[in-house]
Amino acid sequence: MYCSYAVVEAMAKRGACQRFWQTYAWSKGQLSKSANLYQFKNGQTFAGHDVDLNDGVENEGWWDTNPQQVEEPVNKPVDKRLLKRSSVYSGPCGTQALMRR
């Protein structure tokens, strides 16, 4: 759920959602303890794309940020188009966001 501090707090209390992406824009300087992602700045440019900047606050849950142990390396060619999109992803309403940890 992408929302303000007040909505994160209310929905977390009700158990309505398990993951919250809170924006600073409507949060009046408050950060919910239930937020997983926190959007802290809009309208930035990264690699020629307009992006919003976000912090991983607690247990983002959408991907594993820990390195994985691999017994044998995978020797497959990498699609470079995927690498270009790995740090910038589409969000609600067509926005793009850059994730940092």
| Contacts by 5-10, CB closer than 8 A, 24 or more apart | 5/30, 5/31, 5/32, 8/32, 8/34, 8/35, 9/34
Please give the Cα distance from 24 to 31 (Å, whole number): 8
Per residue in 8-41, pLDDT (tens digit) is 999 999 999 888 999 999 999 999 999 989 999 9
Please give the Cα distance from 41 to 53 (Å, whole number): 5
Per residue in 80-98, pLDDT (tens digit) is 555 444 444 445 544 455 5
pLDDT of res. 73: 63
pLDDT of res. 4: 95
Please give the Cα distance from 13 to 18 (Å, whole number): 11
pLDDT of res. 18: 83
Position 51 pLDDT exceeds 60: yes
pLDDT of res. 6: 96
The 3-class SS string of 13-38 reads HHCCCCCCEEECCCCCCCCCCCCCEE
The DSSP-derived string for 49-94 is EEEEEEEE-S---SS--SPPP-SS-------HHHHHHSSEEE-GGG
